[in-house]
Structure 1
Amino acid sequence: MLRFSANLSLLFTEAELPRRFGLAKTHGFDAVEIQFPYSLEPAAIEEQLSEHKQKLVLLNIAADDLMQGGEGLACVPEKQSRFRQAVKEALRYAERLQPAAINVLPGRCFDRRREPAYLDTFKQNLLYAAATFFPLGIKTVFEAINTHDMPGFIIHNGEQMLAIRRELDHPGIFLQYDIYHMERMAENYIEFIGRHAGLIGHVQFADCPGRGQPGTGRIDFGGVFAAIENSAYSGWVGAEYRPVGATEDSLDWFGHSSSSAA
């Protein structure tokens, strides 16, 4: 049975972040994820999770200027010490909140001549993060992001993720697989999930184009959810979309899914 989590960075944004936990619970979500939770102290998040009997399944390590169009943090050689500080900050949250996974966003490279150095830096940083969180039983995940939305993103398809995972061969490193981004890159995500589910640490989804809720684009979510449920994947499936209209009006997919009580 699939288990769905609500991404509180994109869903229920009609309310301030502390209130989104309760709204998610009201609509049936027993798990939540937050892209960057650092505007709230770990104790404040823990209080909300405890009150609403929810689990935090994912958070991201801070990514510097990535969301504002910059190169980000995890792959930039000149920012390696800052990345390690960001890992230490994420560790404060991890120790108290025990998320299932922590995501390292690879970032972008705008000078193609430097791509090998950026990729090498990312691998070093990914290993550093995994060494930090593995003793806590927390997966370190990393994701591919499409180059239409984020030009220059150094990891943008499943094969690249697989190659890095195989090269590093660390038991705490897994893939974060985003259906929306892989649809944008024309990847066969149904086949990929079936073949590599054991290496996937977290799944996210949104429809395409537009990154709205299921039913607003071209993705067959009946097929997607069936493929995930029939695979070896046993983690959470994160609703990370931008609702078209109010969040509560975007949840028809959840009510009709095979595990709407996840």
Structure 2
Amino acid sequence: MPKFAANLTMLFTELPFMQRFEAAAKAGFQAVEYLFPYPFEKKELAAALRANGLQQVLHNLPAGDWDKGERGIACHPDRTGEFREGIAVAIDYATALGCPQLNCLVGKVPAGVSTEAAHKTVVENLRLAARELEAAGLRLLIEPINTFDIPGFFLTRTDQALALIDEVGSSNLRVQYDIYHAQRMEGELGNTLTKNLARIGHIQLADNPGRGEPGTGEINYPWLFQHIDALGYDGWIGCEYKPRVTTVEGLGWREALTKKQ
């Protein structure tokens, strides 16, 4: 059976953030992920993980001004200094929290910047980040995002991510495969996982349409969970979906869909 991590940015949002750790543990999760730890003190987050017996499995590198619509700055040629400063901050937090992997949201191509310039900037930034994370014992991930939810995002498809990894040339860089984003952009979920599992460092889920719980949309999650197990994936699957009602009321999918295997 897959191992599910609660995404605390998306789940238990009826609670203040620091209370979501306890709620996740009470709901049966053994691991958590979330977008950004940086608004909180490292000691506070680490204490919440310990108190609730939770493992942190993922967070993102700093991604610019989220509240103003920025979704990463790795493709911004004029902000390489900020990106590189963010690497050090991210490593500091990940080390304190025992988080083994960090995701880089590469961002939306800025106005007036050519695709070629954005691409060159991404490659250079990822080379540096992959190298510095490897020295710290951490893995770097990149995530394709669908253009329906985030128009203008630079990285949108699995094959593009794999080509980018090849160009960066680091064994410390892998794909964060988000099933929801992949379904919207390309489909072929089973075949893509089969072909590229060795290059996928983390998986996330939500159903489509609506980005709700598994079982609320078109994706055949009972089959997909069985397929992921058969492939031998032993990592975590982050639950990054929007609950239709409350998180706890919607958690019946875990037993309902996985017991069909």
Shared fold (TM-score, shorter chain, > 0.5): yes
After TM superposition, the structure 1 stretch with the greater mean CA deviation from structure 2, 49-58 or 111-120, is 111-120
Q: Using the alignment, how far apart are the partners of 2:98 and 2:89 within structure 1?
A: 14
Unaligned ranges ≥5, structure 1: none
AA aligned opposite 1:157: R
3-state DSSP of counterpart to 1:230: helix
Tell which deviates more after alignment, 239-248 or 223-232: 223-232
Describe the shift of the 1:49–1:89 C-alpha distance in structure 2 as closer, same or farther (beyond 3 A): same
TM-score for the superposition, normalised by structure 2: 0.94
Letter paired with 1:58: L
User: What residue number does 1:132 align with?
Assistant: 132
Q: What is the CA distance between 1:111 and its match in structure 2?
A: 4.5
Whether 1:243 and 2:243 are equivalent positions in the alignment is yes
In structure 1, the partner of 2:185 is: 185
Task: Look up the equivalent residue of 1:25 and give its one-letter code.
Answer: A
Q: CA deviation at 1:115?
A: 0.8
Counterpart Cα distance in 2 of 1:30 and 1:50: 11
Query: 8 Å contact 2:22–2:52 — kept in the other structure?
Result: yes
**Secondary structure at 2:117 match in 1:** helix
Matched, 1:146 2:146: yes
TM-score, reference length from structure 1: 0.94
Q: How far apart are 1:158 and its partner, in Å? A: 0.7
Matches for 1:146-185 after TM superposition, within 5 Å: 146-185=146-185
Aligned twin of 1:15: 15
Instruction: Name the SS of the counterpart of 2:145 in structure 1.
Output: coil
Tell me the alpha carbon deviations over residues 180-201 of structure 1, each in whole angstroms, 9 at most, x when there is no partner. Answer: 0011113211100011101000
The aligned counterpart of 1:75 is 75
On the 8 A contact 2:91/2:136 being kept in 1, the answer is no
Q: Deviations over 1:90-147 (max 9, x none)?
A: 1220121121210000111155861111111111111211112112322100000001
Residue 208 (structure 1) aligns with? 208
Partner letter of residue 223 of structure 1? W
How much has 1:26 moved relative to structure 2? 0.5
Q: Equivalent residue for 1:5?
A: 5
Would you say the 8 A contact 1:104–1:140 is kept in 2?
yes
Question: Are the equivalent residues in 1 in contact too, given 2:123–2:167 (CA < 8 A)?
Answer: no
What CA distance in whole angstroms lies between the structure 1 residues aligned with 2:16 and 2:226?
34
Identity of aligned residues (%): 37
How far residue 43 of structure 1 moved from its aligned partner, in angstroms, is 0.7
Contact 1:157 1:187 in 2 (8 A): no
Q: Distance in 2 between matches of 1:136 and 1:71?
A: 25
Gaps of 5+ in 2: none
Contact 1:75 1:106 in 2 (8 A): yes
Contact in 1 for aligned 2:157/2:186 (Cα 8 Å): no
- Describe how 1:47-126 pairs up with structure 2 within 5 A: 47-65=47-65, 68-70=68-70, 72-111=72-111, 114-126=114-126
Q: Could you say what secondary structure the match of 2:127 adopts?
A: helix
Report the Cα distance in structure 1 between the residues aligned to 2:46 and 2:72, rounded to whole angstroms: 28
RMSD (Å) for aligned C-alpha atoms: 1.6
Deviation at 1:67, TM superposition (A): 6.0
